[in-house]
Amino acid sequence: MQPYIERQMTLTSGWNLISFPMEQPTMNGLLIRRASDLANQTSPVMLSKWNPQTQGYVNFIPGFHLPTDPENFMIGADDAVFIFMSAGSSYPVSGYISTALRSVNLQPGWNLVGYHSLAAGDVETDWAGQVSCGSLDDICHWDGTTFVHYIFPGTPMQLVPGRGYFVWSDTATTLTY
């Protein structure tokens, strides 16, 4: 049996880089599987997801894109999503935490990765040793104002469930956590 958790997701006015810190996330009883599901629950201006194959964004704009449009991207447990809010608010999120190891396929270049774990506090070096970093050597997150960079083997960072991270890799590899 997987542990069930409930958390508050606080979004600020402007851009937020989030992930769902659980599998099968629900907000107000609605399963969040696509951009339109998240948009229906939070009323954002826009949702964006990074596509590592094209090294570009897919954008979903509520009221402009329909739930049937290709821009209505899937949101998985290992995905991070940018969400632009006109005003801040807090939302209840529920779901299951998997005790199994996560495996995320990284493409060469930047990858946008979500993080969830039973216990917060895994450190950046857990990821750094697995990623082929070459000369750029970077993991970063958005703090609501700017990107906070953790350049290997720089200052350790605490991975936070529900936060999204940009991870650079020089080659196709698998990140396991």
**Euclidean distance between CA atoms 15 and 86, whole angstroms:** 9
pLDDT band at 135 (very low <50, low <70, confident <90, very high): very low
pLDDT at 152 over 70: no
pLDDT at 36: 95
Q: Which helix (H) or strand (E) holds 35?
A: helix 35-42
pLDDT at 73: 94
Give the mean model confidence (pLDDT) for residues 148-165.
74
pLDDT at 133: 56
pLDDT at 151 over 70: no
Decide which of 79, 96, 113 is a domain's last residue: 96
Partners of 123 in the β-ladder:
158
Check whether residue 151 and residue 92 sit in a common domain.
Answer: no
Check whether residue 56 and residue 89 sit in a common domain.
Answer: yes
What residues make up the domain containing 22?
4-96
Structure tokens belonging to residue 70: 């290709």
Count of domains forming the chain: 2
User: Which residues, other chains included, contact 70 with Cβ-Cβ below 8 Å and sequence gap of 6+?
Assistant: 58
Alpha-carbon distances of 91 from 9, 10, 98, rounded to whole Å = 5, 6, 22
Average pLDDT, the chain: 82
pLDDT digits (tens, 9 = 90+) for 58-84: 999 998 987 788 889 999 888 899 999
Check whether residue 63 and residue 79 sit in a common domain.
Answer: yes
pTM of the model: 0.83
